Amino acid sequence: MNRPHTQTEPPAQAPTQEHSPREYYERLAAEADAHMDRLEAKEPLKELTLGTLLKRRGVTRREFLKMVAVTTAALSLPSIFDLRVARAAELATRLPVIWQELQSCTGNSIALLRNANPGVDALLLDLISLEYSEVLMAPSGQAAEDVLEAAIERYDGQYIAVFEGSVPVADGGNYLTIGPAGHTGIEIVEHISRHAAAIVAAGTCAAYGGIPAARPNPTAALGIADFLNTRRINTPVVNLPACPVSSTNIVGTILEYAMFGRLPQLDAFGRPLWAYRDRIHDKCERRSHFDAGQFVEGWNDQEGLKRGLCLFKVGCKGPMAYNNCGVVRYNEGTSWPIMAGHGCIGCSEPGFWDTMTPFEEPLPGRVYPLPFGLDADADTIGAVALGAAAVGIAAHAGATVVKSALEQRQAKQEPPKKEQ
Ligand code: SF4
Ligand code: SF4
């Protein structure tokens, strides 16, 4: 996978060694204030205000600020940002967004729409100026294409493009044609991307090709960043992989853009660090069972399943997958796969369908580093409780070292400039 484009500004949410954390966050807050002052000077793109929306949804200002505090924490920002996140939500009416479906199942749109109750995620969906979305808009056919063209022209260089799904490039792109003129996905992504200020690749298919790109990848499906690299289009891209991506990660990314005018700091695979810094395994409620060597031994192990033991032996890929699912959860924070009783399938990792299968078994041949130069494969884990604990700690260290090495390598690369 090619490295995705990153923003050219200094990163958010990571105090540097040059400044104390306090100085760092004060500078970051000043940066946010300056950007939001500029954004506020622009005309809102819709009449709806946050105050009207809260009233309509029956949410008091105090309740709203409580919700905002949760979002601020999810963004890895300290509480001095609470009011700034609230202001960013208010200013989202000045943010044009174009949401384009590609080779996808629309699952990411559905996950976002699942937020029926008022939370910051649901409120922001009402506040942003969603100029085009085939899933949500009433017009279709030529009328829909006209809406898209008008939005691209009107907000040239200012809008956020959200792509959902991969781009099939085999056979001249004919595996995906959209609209009465039969434009290919290739043409559509090129056109929208060249005029966008920033791009969000929502879900694993848009980020890395996802299931359509699984071997033998008959349509030659690509993720957005890889596709744009082939066309030398340098619009910055943020990858939000998962199947589907959680609404918190989409909304947090858009809020952060409203607050700073740039994309967040990214990891080696183009994912925001605030959401994808930790492994699933590190924030898992079953982790104490892993460390104690207590596992569900198979899908007939009723007792182990009832006790909520670790799902590693029935294939959980949490030790290899980076995402915040266990913290933010799905469907308004109701649950997530491991809480529901199935292991993580590693869906937020590049090439997950080929590299993380079989889903119901530990990966054969995958070696976990143990301290003192020893190694253990999946069969060894859990054989001895103390051994398992050592594997857990060492695997964490090993995975983190690999990831941070990749990030350092990426940081050394000159970030590409956006095309004019
Ligand atoms: S292996 Fe899976 S279920 Fe077990 S602690 Fe790790 S993430 Fe949780
Ligand atoms: S728990 Fe794992 S498989 Fe499930 S959504 Fe999160 S990263 Fe994907």
Share of the chain above pLDDT 90, in %: 69
Cα 13 from chain centre: 16
Supply the angle between the helices 120-127 and 247-260 in degrees, to the nearest 10: 60
Q: Is 130 left (phi over 0), alpha (psi -120 to 50) or beta?
A: beta
Starting from the CA of residue 275, give the closest ligand.
2
Please name which ligand lies nearest the alpha carbon of 356: 2
Residue ranges around ligand 2 (CB below 6 Å): 242-243, 280, 321, 323, 325, 336-337, 344-348
Length, in residues, of the chain? 420
**Average pLDDT value for residue range 211-229:** 98
The predicted structure's pLDDT at residue 136: 85
Atom of ligand 2 lying closest to residue 345 CA: 3
- The number of the ligand nearest the C-alpha atom of 281 reads 1
Instruction: Please give the number of the atom of ligand 1 that sits closest to the Cα of 311.
Output: 3
Q: Which residue has the higher pLDDT, 244 or 389?
A: 244
Cα–chain-centroid distance for residue 320? 17
Question: Rounded mean pLDDT of the chain?
Answer: 85
Query: Could you give the CA distance from residue 291 to residue 289 in angstroms, rounded to a whole number?
Result: 5
Mutate to test the pocket of ligand 2, among 114, 280, 328 (most ligand atoms within 8 A of CB): 280
Q: Among all ligands shown, which has an atom nearest to the Cα of 111?
A: 2
Closest-CA residue, ligand 2 atom 8, reads 347
Is the model's pLDDT at 304 over the cut of 80?
Answer: yes
Structure tokens at 30: 């000043």
Q: Give pLDDT, residue 238.
A: 98
- The atom number, within ligand 1, closest to the CA of 280 reads 7
Of ligand 1's listed atoms, the one at least distance from the Cα of 284 is: 8
Whole-number Å distance, alpha carbon 290 to ligand 1 midpoint, is 7
107 secondary structure, DSSP code? H
Is the shortest distance between the CB of 319 and ligand 1 below 6 Å?
Answer: yes
pLDDT confidence tier of residue 32, bands split at 50, 70 and 90? very high
Domain residue spans of the chain: 21-275, 280-405
CATH number of this structure's domain 280-405: 4.10.480.10
Distance CA 122, CA 251 (A): 9
Average pLDDT over residues 323-334: 89
CB 71 within 8 A of CB 248: yes
The pLDDT of residue 3: 43
CATH, domain range 21-275: 3.40.50.700
- Beta bridge pairs of residue 237: 199
pLDDT at 14: 56
For the cut 90, the answer to whether the pLDDT of residue 118 exceeds it is no
126-140, 262-276, 337-351: least confidently modelled range: 126-140
- Residues 90-101: pLDDT tens digits? 999 999 999 999
Q: Can you give the pLDDT at residue 380? A: 61
Q: Which residues pair with 295 in a beta bridge?
A: 310
Q: How far apart are CA 239 and CA 258, in angstroms?
A: 17
Q: Do you find a cis peptide bond into 244, omega within 30 degrees of 0?
A: yes
Q: Hey, what are 147's tokens?
A: 């809406």
183 pLDDT more than 80: yes
Judge if the beta carbon of residue 310 lies within 6 A of ligand 1: yes
The string of pLDDT tens digits covering residues 378-407 is 556 545 433 444 444 444 444 444 455 445
Mean pLDDT, residues 225-250 taken together:
96
Please give the number of the atom of ligand 1 that sits closest to the Cα of 317.
2
Q: For helices 82-91 and 21-40, what crossing angle results, to 10°?
A: 20
- Report whether 84 contacts 33 (CB < 8 A): yes
| Helix (H), strand (E) at residue 222 | strand 221-222
